Structures are given as C-alpha cells and as structure tokens.
Amino acid sequence: MNALIEFKGFNKFFGEQQVLNGIDLQVKTGEVIVILGPSGCGKSTLLRCLIGLEVAHSGSLNFAGRELLDKGTDWREVRQQIGMVFQSYHLFPHMNVLDNLLLGPLKVQKRDRREARDQAEALLARVGLSDKRDAFPRQLSGGQQQRIAIVRSLCMNPQVMLFDEVTAALDPEMVKEVLEVIQGLARDGMTLLIVTHEMAFARAVADRIVFMDGGRILEQNPPEIFFTNPQTARAQQFLEKFSYVAALPQTTQTKELELL
C-alpha cells in the first residue's frame, strides 16, 4: 500500500541553520508514529511543515497522493485533513465548549448544524466530557481543555492527527486522561504522529519510534527494539534517562496503556 504521508529528502532552514536535514519518512494509513529526540532536534518543525505552518526549503512532501511542496497548495484545506494539537489548547475563551467545537465544522466546512452538533456531542461523550458542553474554557481544568482541543480537531474529520507534546503543560494527574484519549484513537486505527516525552506511553502506543537528532532521523524501529536495543550511540545516550521503560512489561501487543 502507498504511504499516506511521505517526506523524501526533506530540508528546512531557519536562516543559516538547517533544522531538518534529508528527512525520509513514510507513514501508512493507520500507523501510529512516535517521534522522539532531544530538545531542538526538529520534532515540532517536522510536524509544523506537514501542515504548512513552516515553509520547507527543498525535497518532497507527499500527502494522500499530492505533492504539498508544489506552489498552489491550499494549506487551509490540508489542515482540515491533518489535525494538529499543541501543548497549549487555544480554545476561544468567550465561547462555550460546544461553540468552540462547532466553529470549524460550521464556518470552515459549511456543514449542517445538526449533523455537526451530533458528532461533537458523540465525541464529547467519548472523552467523558458531555457534562461540559455548555461550560466556558476557564471553568475547565487543563486536562479537560486539552481533551476539548483534541475533540475540536476530530470534529473536522481529519485523516491524520498530529500531537506535539500535548501533555507537557499539564499537572501530572491530568496527563493520563489525555493520553488515554490518544490511546483510544490509536486503537480505533487512526493515523497518528505523536511527539511526546512520556516514554512509557510512547512504548505502549507506537507502531514505530522515529528517533531524531540534529535535524536528522537516526533510527526508525518498533518500540520493543528501540527501547531495548537502540542502534545508535546517540539513542542509547538519550534513553539512559529513561532506562526504566525498557524494563516495563511488553504492552505493544495489546496496546493497553501502562502508565508509570
């Protein structure tokens, strides 16, 4: 089967600094990819390039059979197909939860209000937040707001979801509820690209770990190989801080979330 997403010889500079260097990465429909690597290695930039928030320098980036680096790409349209959730949730403070969720489907996608609302309510139920439908963002915890941000993205019916450290700003007790939502999407077969520092989660959820350093991909392996037998000295060094993860029980078969 053809890849849904394919970076080929992909390069990105900020000024003189090359932050992505010859990236070759294929993602198939339904795959769950976790991107790991030290701070500044280019993880966020890679995801941002995929939805046109950063402009590529050269190479190729194919999505669903289309070359996105061609002139004339409609990035607004691409962003309906590829949802992205960040560390901060950016909900509109003056709108309640339901209105936040319906903004994209009604204003951008011009969908039928009842159909969009039914979907939004079903997704709210799925993340356990039906009772927050009429609440305003300030009345919600960080973990609840982040789950709403995920639902807001899902309401656009994307083909792929990108998650960039979505739990990094949350109190520890709220991390699990957000990771469980992502775990559920993975279990349902959604295509996911995830940047996270939650190593146990990465090991449990990923079909493949992509390890980056200095703007390059150094390793791509299934998590059971990456965490127990990393191939490069750089990955070994990176993983030393997380040595407990290799000792965790094998969870990738069941894809059950084994948090710390």
Ligand X SMILES: Nc1ncnc2c1ncn2[C@@H]1O[C@H](COP(=O)(O)OP(=O)(O)OP(=O)(O)O)[C@@H](O)[C@H]1O
Q: Among 10, 23, 25, 43, which residue sits at the site for ligand X (rule: CB under 6 A)?
A: 43
Q: Among 19, 49, 123, 124, which residue sits at the site for ligand X (rule: CB under 6 A)?
A: 19
Output the six-digit token pair for 138. 């300030």
Region near Mg ion per CB under 5 A, out of 40-48, 131-139, 143-151, 209-217? 40-48
Distance CA 192, CA 56 (A): 21
To ligand X, the closest distance from the beta carbon of 39 in angstroms equals 3
Q: Among 7, 25, 31, 42, which residue sits at the site for ligand X (rule: CB under 6 A)?
A: 42
223 binds, among Mg ion, ligand X, none (CB under 5 to 8 A by kind): none
Distance CA 205, CA 246 (A): 14
- 14: contact with ligand X by CB under 6 A: yes
Nearer to Mg ion, 99 or 165 (CB): 165
Alpha-carbon dihedral sign for residues 116, 121, 125, 127: positive
Which of 26, 105, 108 is closest to 63 using CA atoms?
26
Which of 103, 102, 10 is closest to 55 using CA atoms?
10
To ligand X, the closest distance from the beta carbon of 209 in angstroms equals 15
41 binds, among Mg ion, ligand X, none (CB under 5 to 8 A by kind): ligand X
- 44: contact with Mg ion by CB under 5 A: yes
Please give the residue ranges that form the binding site for Mg ion (CB under 5 A).
Answer: 44
